[in-house]
Amino acid sequence: MTTASLRTETYLWLAQRISAIVLAVCVVVHLTTMIVAVQGGLSAQEIIARIGGNKLWLVYYLVFVAAVAIHAPLGLKTVLREMTALPIKRIELLVGLFAIGVAALGFRAAFGLYGLGGS
């Protein structure tokens, strides 16, 4: 049913729990910021003005992206294991690619926004 060792399975389980804790904080910050920011209307310029060139926001989004890239693929792995008849190796390949995709797109967006603003 699985190719990972019990120790690896436990580490991955723990990684999903820890990333969930990080996400709980990140999502609250993200939603609060959105609600506050949207008051004056939302535009690309406004987002770039707030986030661009700001090292604190860059670090925040890098952590956020890393947590998503860890948490979501592990959840997807469980969903695919339980809901499909796909062999476990195929599932691990799929979620591995998904993790790389999420991380690549997320980090690109975070660095991209950072690079667009500031002095």
Partner 1 sequence: METDQLSVSIWRGGDGGAYQTYQVPRLESQTVLDVVTYIQREIDPSLSYRFACRVGVCGSCAMTVNGKARWTCRTHVSRVAENGALTLNPLRNLPVVKDLVVDMAVFFDKWEKAMGAFVGDKTRDQALAAVSPSDPKRKEASAGIECIGCGICYATCDVVDWNKDYLGPAAMNRSWTLINDERDVARIPRLQAIAGDNGCLGCHSQQGCVERCPKSLNPTGAIAGLKRHTMKAALKGELT
Q: Residues 40-79 vs partner 1: string with x where CB under 8 A?
A: --------------------------------------x-
Distance of CA 44 to the CA centre of its chain: 21
Q: How far is the CB of 73 from partner 1 (least distance, A)?
A: 14
13 touching partner 1, by CB under 8 A: yes
**From CA 114, how far away is CA 58, in angstroms rounded?**
6
Q: Is the dihedral of CA 41, 42, 46, 52 positive or negative?
A: positive
3 lines the binding site for partner 1 (CB under 8 A): no
Q: Which amino acid is at 20?
A: A
Number of residues that bind partner 1 (CB under 8 A): 14
Closer residue to partner 1, CB minimum distance, 18 or 105: 18
Q: How many CA atoms lie within 13 A of 79 on its CB side?
A: 8
Nearest approach, Cβ of residue 60 and partner 1 (Å):
28
